[in-house]
Structure 1
């Protein structure tokens, strides 16, 4: 087990892929780094997920400009995490859309999350000096809203708590394609530090009920074809359940966080240790699962100080 915290030592650049997953629908992926999505309408473009910095956002914009010169008018943020939202200023979008709950989480814990993730993921925050501040939406909604890019309709929906309490998905019905954010991952660990373990699998099943032809997940390769989509849905739910179950058993018998960590590793290492950011996510996942087992419904706010204290506790 690496003694270096989170992804502090991960400084290697990732190979970018830009995959068409439906007509004028694209997934920007980078070997387990945060993904973005591109939806091209009749006369404008919607981006899903901003990236961590304007520097990284410009890599998305470069790919967009390789296929269209239509203006980027809408930016959809599936949740509030810093690595997803702080690059927003680069796009110059007229509308920045979040769920109402995600906006409340920016207000409640956005700065703390920024400070915490800056320490965890130094590579993603190269060029951070260009971030103008916290990203705030111009438009919010509770359950569902539709955005029309000319004739193309994009349905934005809150299907249930999962990766955070405010996750949304973007569904493009004319191509039966969905952008799920971090509710679904592919060969990448789920970050559960702000998660809701009891709710997450049911939210995954709501996504499955759409029977989509392709998904752009939060991390990992674009999912094309129903077999690949269903495999990713299955593995995401298995990851969440396999993380929670052993940790809850330890917590409910009064065991320590370190014992819960050992139990989680025994269950998850054989299945998931080769997943992207597995070691990065594991301490946060164990800590949150431990809390949820003890009926702490709202995830406690992660700060750089809390990160360090938790990591020291897990090192024994």
Structure 2
């Protein structure tokens, strides 16, 4: 391998922010690192996204304890990726919630994803020795489910495929606020390596139809106000389309993965090169876009070895 993944050299500590996005609703953000959400009900708390390790999850718990002493009873996971779920044990929640599809992906590729992500981005696995194993949900749903935290209603929904096949959003109607996971990002690259380019836009439309007052995105700052929310949704759409279009053109003429990489860089670098984790995501995004354009409907499983093989092709 000519050089390491960009993410392997990213060891810079990020500054944490804890932003109120509605009454009793918070976004835990860290300059493009994975976000978490906090929903405080009448008598208990739900966490959205668990971080990559119990040690990192404890940073979320510290922020929660700065605003409430209510017990954390629920953890909602928007998808299966290791950096989102492997810290779940730290919360001691009664219920860990995923979509049926996300649980299926833990079974199919959870260990491979863990091994792959740990190799790619070691900084995000601070305290990895504290991970007890794969995170399995106690509760799953097909299309939607409702949780009541006392009188506070929380709706968890699968609105469509985008970042993964099992994406969920978490909506709090009394404040008109949504936690979108990695379907929506803000000034951060979308990771599309397990995504569905041709369906992502429809899922964004489904989110947009809620006309929410705030979004806690998967990465990047909290989005408060309709103008910021809509700008982030459309920017996410532009990122996904700008990645897929050039790769699809190369695939249509029988070009190589390396040619697709060059074409995507030409279109995306001028617009997105300063985004968080852009260089980390790019090779995986190109590989998935190239696959989808060639008719590979479902994302192939990433393994630590497949990562290295793909990277070697791009360096050729």
- Quickly name the TM-score band, shorter chain normalised: over 0.9
Aligned to 1:146: 146
Q: Does structure 1 residue 235 correspond to structure 2 residue 235?
A: yes
Q: Does structure 1 residue 86 correspond to structure 2 residue 90?
A: no
Give the superposition deviation at 1:3.
3.6
Give the superposition deviation at 1:126.
1.9
Q: Does structure 1 residue 132 correspond to structure 2 residue 144?
A: no
Secondary structure of the residue that 2:93 maps to in structure 1? coil
Give the superposition deviation at 1:6.
3.8
Aligned to 2:292: 292
Q: Deviations over 1:235-276 (max 9, x none)?
A: 000000000000010011100000000000000000000000
The correspondence of residues 99-178 of structure 1 with structure 2, limited to 5 A, is 99-178=99-178
Aligned to 1:54: 54
Give the superposition deviation at 1:100.
0.2
Number of corresponding residues: 315
- 2: CA distance, partners of 1:89 / 1:204: 31
- 1: CA distance, partners of 2:168 / 2:258: 33
Give the superposition deviation at 1:163.
0.1
| Native 8 Å contact 1:186 1:232 kept in 2 | yes
| Native 8 Å contact 1:6 1:281 kept in 2 | no
- 1: CA distance, partners of 2:241 / 2:275: 16
Q: Deviations over 1:162-216 (max 9, x none)?
A: 0000000000000000000000000000000000000001100100000000000
The correspondence of residues 1-316 of structure 1 with structure 2, limited to 5 A, is 3-316=3-316
* Structure 2 gap ranges (5+): none
- 2: CA distance, partners of 1:94 / 1:121: 30
- 1: CA distance, partners of 2:147 / 2:297: 32
Give the superposition deviation at 1:46.
0.1
Secondary structure of the residue that 2:145 maps to in structure 1? strand
Give the superposition deviation at 1:4.
2.6
| Native 8 Å contact 1:46 1:75 kept in 2 | yes
* Structure 1 gap ranges (5+): none
Normalising to structure 2: TM-score of the pair? 0.99
Secondary structure of the residue that 2:291 maps to in structure 1? helix
Q: Deviations over 1:18-65 (max 9, x none)?
A: 000000000000000000000000000000000000010000000000
Runs of 4+ in 1 over 6 A off after TM superposition: none
